[in-house]
């Protein structure tokens, strides 16, 4: 539909209709709304509307949505933003830095969103970008952009200390290719507590999710001897590890102790409730949204803010005293 045809339907001049769509101040609100109503009825509102959308539009870029860990953060952020009358756009980057940067540029330059929340972002926004970008859950400290991260190192250290107090000395780590930072935290925790951490104890599965845990635990049991506990890089891996132990007739925690990470909703409802490390879901999301709102304000500080929230070890039923042999 042409602007002339739309003007004819509204009984206003082409000039008046054009001014209404461009936000001209000399067009009354009543006239503007009448023109907009007719445009919406005939499906051409988006074609001619040139003013800024009334709601704040926030883009969320996360690695994936298959994992409840990331899906929970996205859902919580969306709920928080929409509660304040914002609108959310969601994209995934499949853990690709290149893809993430492309999405940031697309949202900032072409869609002109009001703010961006990008998981694991560690690079400064391109010069000239005036759209604030907040990094979420980056493993790195002191990055050149605003960030809200979780200190996972402390609860990993707490987990190792907990197992040590239960008498465990031979503790393994089961992860996969995307969890190398957590593996490094585990190595450091073992060193701090004076426990051995040979390479045989560091299992990196070629798989992901439950399969990584099942295959990783099987590898540990088949190729080593004497391990009595394992810290798993995330709860899905812990679930697979528990499956592998059960298949071999080993009881948890009587024969083997298992700790997961992320504290997904199912962790507290397994046959044996899973001991896990929580990532501060609500605190991270509330803090990130509050920070982004400040950055979207016209008088916001150009200085980068680094906010760290400490994760927490949640003790449940899958850890116990070292078995007597």
Task: Say if residues 116 and 123 touch (Cβ distance below 8 Å).
Answer: no
If DSSP states are collapsed to H, E and C, what string results for 108-145?
HHHCCCCEEEEECCCCCCCCCCCCCEEEECCCCCCCCC
Same fold, 57-151+280-309 and 153-279: yes
pLDDT surpassing 90 at residue 173: yes
pLDDT surpassing 70 at residue 243: yes
Q: Which residues of 189-199 are buried (b: 16+ CB within 10 A; e: fewer)?
A: bbeebebebee
Q: What is the overall mean pLDDT for the chain?
A: 94
Range 57-151+280-309: architecture per CATH: 3-Layer(aba) Sandwich (3.40)
| Mean pLDDT of the 184-210 span | 98
Query: 271 vs 53, which has greater pLDDT?
Result: 271
Range 153-279: architecture per CATH: 3-Layer(aba) Sandwich (3.40)
Q: What's the whole-model pTM score?
A: 0.85
Pairing of strands 57-62, 115-119: parallel
State residue 133's pLDDT score.
95
* 35-45 pLDDT tens trace: 999 998 988 88
State residue 263's pLDDT score.
98
pLDDT surpassing 80 at residue 193: yes
State residue 297's pLDDT score.
87
Q: Where are the domains of the chain?
A: 3-48, 57-151+280-309, 153-279
* 52-98 pLDDT tens trace: 677 899 999 999 999 999 999 999 999 999 999 999 999 999 999 99
């Amino acid at each position: 539909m042409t602007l002339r045809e739309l003007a004819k339907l509204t009984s206003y001049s082409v000039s008046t209709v054009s001014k209404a769509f461009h936000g001209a101040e000399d067009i009354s609100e009543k006239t503007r709304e009448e023109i907009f109503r007719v445009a919406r009825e005939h499906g051409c509102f988006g074609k001619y509307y040139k003013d800024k959308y009334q709601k704040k539009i926030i883009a969320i870029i996360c690695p994936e949505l298959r994992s409840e860990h990331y899906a929970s953060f996205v859902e919580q952020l969306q709920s928080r933003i929409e509660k304040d009358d914002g609108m959310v756009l969601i994209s995934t980057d499949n853990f690709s830095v290149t893809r993430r940067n492309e999405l940031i540029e697309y949202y900032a330059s072409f869609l002109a969103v009001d703010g961006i929340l990008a998981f694991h972002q560690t690079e400064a926004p391109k010069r000239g970008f005036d759209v604030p970008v907040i990094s979420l859950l980056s493993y790195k400290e002191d990055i050149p952009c605003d960030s809200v991260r979780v200190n996972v190192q402390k609860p990993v250290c707490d987990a190792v200390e907990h197992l040590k107090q239960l008498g465990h000395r031979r503790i393994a780590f089961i992860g996969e290719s995307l969890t190398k930072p957590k593996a490094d935290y585990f190595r450091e925790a073992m060193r701090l507590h004076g426990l051995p951490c040979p390479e045989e104890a560091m299992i990196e599965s070629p798989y992901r999710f439950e399969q990584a845990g099942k295959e990783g635990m099987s590898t540990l049991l088949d190729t080593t001897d004497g391990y009595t506990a394992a810290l798993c890089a995330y709860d899905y891996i812990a679930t697979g590890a528990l499956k592998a132990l059960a298949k071999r007739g080993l009881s948890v925690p009587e024969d083997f102790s298992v700790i997961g990470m992320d504290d997904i909703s199912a962790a507290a409802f397994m046959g044996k409730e899973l001991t896990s490390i929580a990532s501060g879901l609500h605190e991270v999301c509330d803090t990130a949204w509050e920070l982004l709102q400040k950055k979207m304000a016209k008088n916001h500080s150009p200085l980068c803010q680094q906010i760290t929230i400490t994760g927490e070890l949640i003790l449940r039923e899958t850890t116990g005293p070292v078995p007597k042999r």
